[in-house]
Amino acid sequence: MRRPLIAGNWKMNLGLGDSVRLAEALRTGLGSVPDRDVAIFPGFVSVAAVARAVDGSPIKTGGQDCASELDGAFTGAVSATMLKSTSASMVILGHSERRHVFGEGDAVHAKKLQRALDAGLLPILCVGETQAERDSGATSAVVLRQLQAFLDAVPTLAFPKLTLAYEPVWAIGTGRTASVEQAAEVHALLRRAFRERAGAVAEDARILYGGSVKSSNIAALMAAPDIDGALVGGASLQADEFLRIIHFQRN
Ligand code: 13P
């Protein structure tokens, strides 16, 4: 049985004070969660303070991205080792906003993955198709290409460290959640592809769903056999709503 991971991606929201207050509210409201993992991903400027605010609690902290280069003259970029130095333990890579807003492709994300693992960060690797790709029947080809690019970048020894996330681009921030059937189909496809490369390791790998997850739809999504958690955007910015998602009741 895979242990669910509920992750909150705060994106480019909340300053330092609000980030720490949200982290403290989550810490206070969390209580005991013996059967699930929780992680939050604040903006870079708040990662260190948020990591301190949740230190000693079950909540893990991570960055929303990291640089593809080790260090040097890359103004504005944050390296994996810099992120790790803040006590962050995780990083989101390949998010659709990095792919489609910032124009970063598979190759740069493959390098970021190597940097993240070298720095000792546990990555969440995002894949997902656009509406146009879904409409043209390209969903499988797109998500498999994105997954292979990540897997080709690392030795098989690193496979147990990987968490995958399926985030259909058309469901992000739109209020349009993928149906449970649509999500389950892609999750099963990703697990099959990962199994072909990783064997039994794929059975323990968590595959999160992301895209308009709320407290009202989390339980239905989590009932699908290959959905092992959620990567939550907008609904993770409100402590009460995110806590309801974390504490979802199994159907
Ligand atoms: P929303 O939950 O706001 O749709 O965002 C999903 C997401 O992109 C999480 O990484």
Q: What is the CATH number of the domain that holds 213?
A: 3.20.20.70
Domain enclosing residue 198, as ranges = 5-246
What's residue 34's pLDDT? 87
Q: Give the tens place of pLDDT for each residue, 82-126.
A: 999 999 999 999 999 999 999 999 999 999 999 999 999 999 999
Tell me, yes or no, whether 72 lies in a domain: yes
Q: Could you give the number of structural domains in the chain?
A: 1
Tell me, yes or no, whether 112 lies in a domain: yes
Tell me, yes or no, whether 91 lies in a domain: yes
- Per-residue DSSP letters for 170-221? GGTTSS-PPPHHHHHHHHHHHHHHHHHHHTTHHHH--EEEESS--TTTHHHH
Tell me, yes or no, whether 181 lies in a domain: yes
Tell me, yes or no, whether 251 lies in a domain: no
What's residue 164's pLDDT? 98
**Is 149's pLDDT higher than 90?**
yes
Q: Give the tens place of pLDDT for each residue, 37-51.
A: 999 999 999 999 999
**Is 174's pLDDT higher than 90?**
no
DSSP for residue 157: G
Ligand 1 pocket test, pick from 90, 232, 241, 242 with the greatest ligand atom count within 8 Å of Cβ, gives 232
Tell me, yes or no, whether 73 lies in a domain: yes
Binding pocket residue ranges, ligand 1, CB within 6 Å: 9, 95, 167, 172-173, 210-213, 231-235
Tell me, yes or no, whether 84 lies in a domain: yes
H-helix or E-strand spanning residue 20 = helix 16-30
- pTM, whole model, 2 decimals? 0.97
